[in-house]
Structure 1
Amino acid sequence: MDIGALHFQNPEAFWLLVFVPVLIALYVYRQRKRKRTIKFPALSIAKRAVPSRRVRLRHIVPALRLAALCCFVVALARPQNAMEVEYTNTDGVDIMLALDVSGSMGTLDMLTRAEQAKLGVMNAERILNSGEYWKYSRMGYAQGVIADFIQKRHSDRIGLSAFGSRAVTQCPLTLDYGSLLEILKATDELAKDSIIAGRTAIGDGLMNALARLQKSEAKSKVVVLLTDGRDNASVISPVRAADVAQSLGVKVYTVGVGKRRGKILAFQQNPWTGEISWGERDITPEEEVDESTLKEVAAKTGGKFYRAENKEQLEEIYSEIDQLEKTEIETVAYARYAEKFYPWLLAGAFLILLELLLANTRFVRIP
């Protein structure tokens, strides 16, 4: 039996409360039938007598006894505090996020018009020196969208691999999303490292992610690889790495970021004064994403290739991947109970002691 947040182990004890109205009726009956006599010199004076406060409050003694009885009945019913405990049983998905940290990820080509206008009126040299422009870059947008993707997951292990001129594991598969998000925030520092940021090793980046999934026993194993260029530094080609992924049963989603054509907001330096200002330049063919290779990698592994030219498209892509790789969760609920009858027992004992104290002092009866 449950009443609100309390569970009663022995609810049949509440049947004892049916005697409460019987006891009240019996007390009222006895009070009316009781005859009291007192010698008084004059009846007219007796009629003017007003009952004192003590007389009016004399019923508090049996009321305390009755309240104590109710407390003992509740204690006998064994109230308990039910605490729900959920155990989640899931096959789980292991996801490695492979992120391109080459220098080109600092390109400012995914800006909205409002953001481009905002940057255009700001001091270019200050923005460059402070590194503030990174949050408007391909890398900045990728970090934000990937962070949202991580926060939407609940019971999957997620890891992070970064690749530029070489591939490094930033975070192995983990359920500690807080630590993973902190590591993700620092990946733009790798893109500023000339040793790592110089070139793009897509195949090695994929292999690094696969190494972390090799011994995984998860029902589903996934790599989400994001890049803005083409492979020019790998020891193992992306297509060969895709063959390895296929043999391991790993699905690879590839994401290409950056505009296909058009202008890029860029910093320019005056050759005479050295002053840094804003300018624009065209996207060169060498900067274009190698879509054919990324499509082949995805197709070989049963994944899918996506192309994002702005932040909104990138958000939609990771949202779709999130839906495609949902974990089937089976939840079993248990309840633990903590005994709560002690306060009722103590309250009943206190009321009995108070009733005895008042009955033998303030409201003592004279025969």
Structure 2
Amino acid sequence: MPANFEIAHLWVFFLLPLPFVVYWLFPALRIRSASLSLPTYGKVSAYTGEKPRKSAFIRRRGIVNWISMLLIWVLILATLSSPQLVGEPQMKVKTSRNFLIAADISFSMAEKDWEINGEKVRRWDAVKALMHEFIQKREGDRMGLIFFGSSAYIQAPFTPDLETVDQLLEEADVGMAGQMTYIGKAITKGIELFDKDTIETKVMLLLTDGVDAGTDILPLDAADIAKEDSILIYTIGIGDPSGVGVDLDEQTLQEIAEMTGGQYFQAKDEKRLQEIYAEVDKLEPIEYEEEENRPTTLLYYYPLGAALGLMLITMFFQSLFHLIQSSRQKGKEVNLG
């Protein structure tokens, strides 16, 4: 992703002349040094060539020292200005919808009449593989999972953590909810899950390969309740109704979708199911906030590190210089003695 260099607080550089203003307004610091009174001070001064000076003096800084201090000041201002690399604007994903997948895991989903890469696999394995891809693309939705057979249970409550939903999907297998297909129970369980949440947009994706065998609540009665709660249901029939071992009630699935404002899709194979997921993506696109999100990489630590490094180097050479001066002074004192 291309990024542009920007300075967040450009006004900080207006402080650049501040050291000169301080130098001009405030008097120099005078440092008192120890003095030595000798009866023959005049003779010593003449002998050594050293001129007498006052007990208070202004320590002079060399040109190198001044340049170093000015560079450190510029680097400190550069740090405070917050330099950064700013990426291209991106629209923030808006979490505005609860998306529930209700999947049939009754015994009929164990039929090996689907193919993946030329190999016969169970219907559930093929459906699950494509569901993984579908879930990963739904970033921005709060997703939940319900699995049903003779009973319906919540595998994952609504959450924006799609990795967790994907993991819980992987852990589910055929027969965990019983051997029969109770579509009415699945829709009712989904309604209960939606009722516990505050987000108004509610979408259910119902996948099944069978005929409802329940007597507690009929699928169309459950769909009518879902309609009253503004729940949109997309239904997917798994398998070819004309094929062997497929007992699919397409009419009921079509009526459920029509009643709630959704659509019915018939998935004969893996390719068609993948196309259906793409169609659902178009019908329920991910929504984005109007607010833009611009990825930012802060760079302040570069000038800060350079300032600290230059400060340490300056202090080191100052100490070395004073040490050399001190050694020379002691050498003169020895010669004088």
What is residue 76 of structure 1 aligned with on the other side? Answer: 77
Question: Structure 2 counterpart of 1:92, which letter?
Answer: S
CA contact (8 A) 2:106 2:181 kept: yes
How much has 1:155 moved relative to structure 2? 2.2
Equivalenced residues, count: 277
How much has 1:300 moved relative to structure 2? 0.5
1:182 equivalent among 157, 162, 167: 167
CA contact (8 A) 1:72 1:344 kept: no
What is residue 143 of structure 2 aligned with on the other side? Answer: 158
What is residue 285 of structure 2 aligned with on the other side? Answer: 326
Change (3 A) 1:64 1:137: farther
Question: Structure 2 counterpart of 1:203, which letter?
Answer: G
How many Å separate the matches in 2 of 1:112 and 1:339? 52
Moved over 4 A (4+): 5-9, 13-16, 61-65, 81-89, 332-342, 358-366
Map 1:241-280 → 2, pairs under 5 A:
241-262=222-243
SS of equivalent to 1:223: strand
How many Å separate the matches in 2 of 1:83 and 1:301? 48
Change (3 A) 1:323 1:363: farther
How many Å separate the matches in 1 of 2:318 and 2:4? 32
1:11 equivalent among 10, 13, 25: 13
How many Å separate the matches in 1 of 2:64 and 2:98? 66
How much has 1:162 moved relative to structure 2? 1.0
TM-score, scaled relative to structure 1: 0.65
What is residue 45 of structure 2 aligned with on the other side? Answer: none
How much has 1:80 moved relative to structure 2? 2.5
Instruction: Kindly provide the CA deviation profile for residues 311-331 of structure 1, in whole angstroms up to 9, marking residues without a partner as x.
Output: 111111112212221232213
SS of equivalent to 2:190: helix
How much has 1:186 moved relative to structure 2? 2.0
Change (3 A) 1:110 1:333: closer
Instruction: Tell me which moved more, 292-301 or 173-182.
Output: 173-182
Map 1:304-315 → 2, pairs under 5 A:
304-315=263-274
How many Å separate the matches in 2 of 1:339 and 1:96? 45
What is residue 238 of structure 1 aligned with on the other side? Answer: 219
Cα RMSD after superposing both structures: 3.5
2:128 equivalent among 139, 143, 147: 143
Question: Structure 2 counterpart of 1:138, which letter?
Answer: R
What is residue 201 of structure 2 aligned with on the other side? Answer: 220
Instruction: Tell me which moved more, 168-177 or 63-72.
Output: 63-72
CA contact (8 A) 1:166 1:234 kept: no
2:312 equivalent among 350, 357, 361: 350
How many Å separate the matches in 1 of 2:320 and 2:113? 86
Instruction: Tell me which moved more, 290-299 or 144-153.
Output: 144-153
How much has 1:179 moved relative to structure 2? 2.1
How much has 1:5 moved relative to structure 2? 6.9
How much has 1:178 moved relative to structure 2? 2.2
Q: Where does structure 1 lack aligned partners over 5 or more consecutive residues?
A: 17-60, 117-135, 263-282
More RCO (CA 8 Å, sep 6+): 1
Instruction: Kindly provide the CA deviation profile for residues 250-287 of structure 1, in whole angstroms up to 9, marking residues without a partner as x.
Output: 0000000112334xxxxxxxxxxxxxxxxxxxx15xx3
How many Å separate the matches in 1 of 2:193 and 2:155? 11
CA contact (8 A) 2:97 2:142 kept: yes
What is residue 257 of structure 2 aligned with on the other side? Answer: 298
Question: Structure 2 counterpart of 1:302, which letter?
Answer: G
Q: Where does structure 2 lack aligned partners over 5 or more consecutive residues?
A: 19-61, 330-337
Question: Structure 2 counterpart of 1:80, which letter?
Answer: S
Change (3 A) 1:179 1:333: closer
How many Å separate the matches in 2 of 1:3 and 1:361? 48
For the pair 1:229 / 2:210, whether they are aligned, the reply is: yes
CA contact (8 A) 1:75 1:344 kept: no
How many Å separate the matches in 2 of 1:203 and 1:6? 60
CA contact (8 A) 1:258 1:310 kept: yes
How many Å separate the matches in 2 of 1:209 and 1:227? 15
Instruction: Kindly provide the CA deviation profile for residues 159-194 of structure 1, in whole angstroms up to 9, marking residues without a partner as x.
Output: 111111111111211122222222111221xx235x
TM-score, scaled relative to structure 2: 0.71
How many Å separate the matches in 2 of 1:241 and 1:159? 19
1:201 equivalent among 166, 172, 182: 182
Map 1:82-161 → 2, pairs under 5 A:
82=84, 90=94, 92-111=96-115, 114-116=118-120, 136-161=121-146
For the pair 1:192 / 2:192, whether they are aligned, the reply is: no
What is residue 211 of structure 1 aligned with on the other side? Answer: 192
Instruction: Tell me which moved more, 240-249 or 72-81.
Output: 72-81
Question: Structure 1 counterpart of 2:75, which letter?
Answer: V
How many Å separate the matches in 2 of 1:288 and 1:90? 40
CA contact (8 A) 2:140 2:287 kept: no
What is residue 45 of structure 1 aligned with on the other side? Answer: none
How many Å separate the matches in 2 of 1:83 and 1:179? 33
Question: Structure 2 counterpart of 1:115, which letter?
Answer: E
How many Å separate the matches in 1 of 2:271 and 2:286? 25
Instruction: Tell me which moved more, 73-82 or 167-176.
Output: 73-82
Question: Structure 2 counterpart of 1:114, which letter?
Answer: G
Q: What fraction of aligned residue pairs are identical, expressed as a percent?
A: 28
